[in-house]
Amino acid sequence: MSVERYLIVKSPLNIECFNVKIKLICITFTWIYSALMIMIQLFSKNSFVLEGMLTSCSFDYLSRDSLSRCYMLLMLVGGFVIPFMLIIIFYVLTKKEIKKKNNYFFRMNSSELRRSLNSMSLIEDNSLNSREMGPILTKKDLVEGGTKICEWKEKFLPAKKNTSSERKTSSTQSSKNYYYFLLRREKRVLKRIILNVTCFCLAWMPYVIMTLTAQFGNNIENYINPFSTSIPGIIAKISSIYNPILYTLTNKNCKNYYKRLLRISKE
């Protein structure tokens, strides 16, 4: 999922072309990788044993022979360290890609803003110059018919300056709003990354601690019992339930889709 998110952010226009291909490659690689990890233990001497309350099976991490210890370390690296590092790497790359695109769009928006302001200023200057070429009636007394004196004191230039300044102020405010929108977007992505990585660690870290303690700890019979070994396994398996919910509900489009489904079902 972290790889897919990175590819979507990096090439959003081409994702429809290779979206199915990437998914098939990831699914095939996951099945082959998992099958190889299981087959090593399946054809070994110890194979799989019942763990915890004898309701589930796992690899034998209580035996301390060299084969069991090597397989436990292999599962630790291949089942926890490598996936954890891949999640971290691709989420960091996703964060950098979003930040780079935000900076690009902000620079593009700023350049468009400067061009629009320059064009508006040029139009204002041209209109003012055209007015200055005509008879501007300021600080003069105009005599009409030799009897009536009309004094004109209207000044057009300050009014136009105020209009131009108001436009610049509104454009600057819109640029600030756009910048704050990009900043909020980066914060949402960062929170999502922290949430996903934290949930992954909370799900599998107790199981890792239990296996390492069983292999390298002293006096393990005092705290390694069926109840204490079943709790980490339950926590790790619950991650298969909340992972899809976590990855879908943190997406705004998915939330809107589920809301529409609920409204349709109520109707």
What is the length of the chain? Answer: 267
Where in the chain are the domains?
A: 2-129+198-266
Most confidently predicted of 24-33, 42-51, 151-160, 240-249: 24-33
186 has a pLDDT exceeding 80: no
pLDDT at 119: 54
Q: Could you give the CA distance from residue 254 to residue 236 in angstroms, rounded to a whole number?
A: 25
Q: Hey, how many other C-beta atoms are within 10 angstroms of the C-beta on 201?
A: 14
More confident of the two residues 27 and 166: 27
121 compared with 202, residue with greater pLDDT: 202
Q: How confident is the model at residue 153 (pLDDT cuts 50, 70, 90)?
A: very low
Query: CA separation (Å) from 259 to 39, 188, 250, 254, 264?
Result: 43, 21, 14, 9, 9
Range 2-129+198-266: architecture per CATH:
Up-down Bundle (1.20)
From the number of C-beta atoms within 10 Å of its C-beta (0-12, 13-18, 19+), residue 51 rates as buried
Q: Which residue has the higher pLDDT, 175 or 222?
A: 222
Neighbouring CB atoms inside 10 A of 37's CB total 16
